[in-house]
Every structure is written in structure tokens, then in C-alpha cells.
Amino acid sequence: MSSEERARVTLNKDEARLLKAQLERAEIKFEEREVGHVFHRVPRVALSIECSMIARARLRADYDALVVEILCQNVGAIGAVKYRLGVAELNNDAVEEFGKRLLGLPNRFTELKLPD
């Protein structure tokens, strides 16, 4: 997922800190610089954000618990998410719904996962 253009925003330091945390969580690269202005008493931060986002999914078997963990980064939601499916839930429907999630299609994959 990418675009040649960069997103640009200027925020106060607290807002910038929150946005930077979300960008780092999603592994989105950005540049920042402090902005000074005569009329602004609160220091501001200008962010230039790359419009490029990594999306990936990793599957890991937990043999002791008989569970498959699916670790997603920017798949269906921004940031990292972990799903757990038991042996009984890991069937053709689950694979099909996960495939839809990967492709960004409407899906019900999150309904199939084990409770945390």
C-alpha cells in the first residue's frame, strides 16, 4: 500500500506525540521538525509522513495449546493484531474468511477467533 505523495500535518507537541506513537505502531516512516511562529506560544511539530505501509501476516503453531496464532501487521486494522484459532476453528471457512481479510474484502474472520 503506497503513494508517491507524502502526508503533511502540523500539530502541538502532545498531539504530535500521540500521532507518532500510532505511526510507529503501524511501522509508517515519518520525518518531524519543530515549527516556531511568533503568534503560537505552544511549540508545534510538523510531520511529513510517507504514504507507504507494510502489510503482513505470520502464522505460528502453539503445539502445547493446539492453537494457531496469526500475527498481523496492518491487515484489516492499522497496527499489530494477534488472532488465535483452535484446532476446531481452523477449517475451510476460517481460511476463506482470513483470505478475504487479507484482500480487504468484507469478512467475518474476527468472529471465528478464540477469546483472548
Per-residue model confidence as pLDDT tens digits over 49-76: 988 888 899 999 999 999 999 999 888 8
Predicted local confidence at residue 48, as pLDDT:
92
Listed as ranges, residues in the chain with pLDDT below 70 are 1, 37-42, 114-116
Same domain, 83 and 45: no
Predicted local confidence at residue 34, as pLDDT:
87
Sign of the CA dihedral running 55, 60, 65, 66: positive
The number of folded domains in the chain is: 2
Predicted local confidence at residue 47, as pLDDT:
92
Same domain, 7 and 44: yes
Domain boundary among 11, 29, 52: 52
What CA–CA distances, in Å, run from 61 to 8, 75, 84, 91, 113? 41, 19, 10, 15, 14
Q: Give the three cell numbers for residue 32.
A: 518531524
Q: Taking all residues of the chain, what is their mean pLDDT, rounded to a whole number?
A: 87
Domain boundary among 52, 71, 92: 52
pTM above 0.75, yes or no: no
Predicted local confidence at residue 116, as pLDDT:
61
Same domain, 44 and 60: no
Predicted local confidence at residue 114, as pLDDT:
66
Domain residues for 90?
A: 56-112
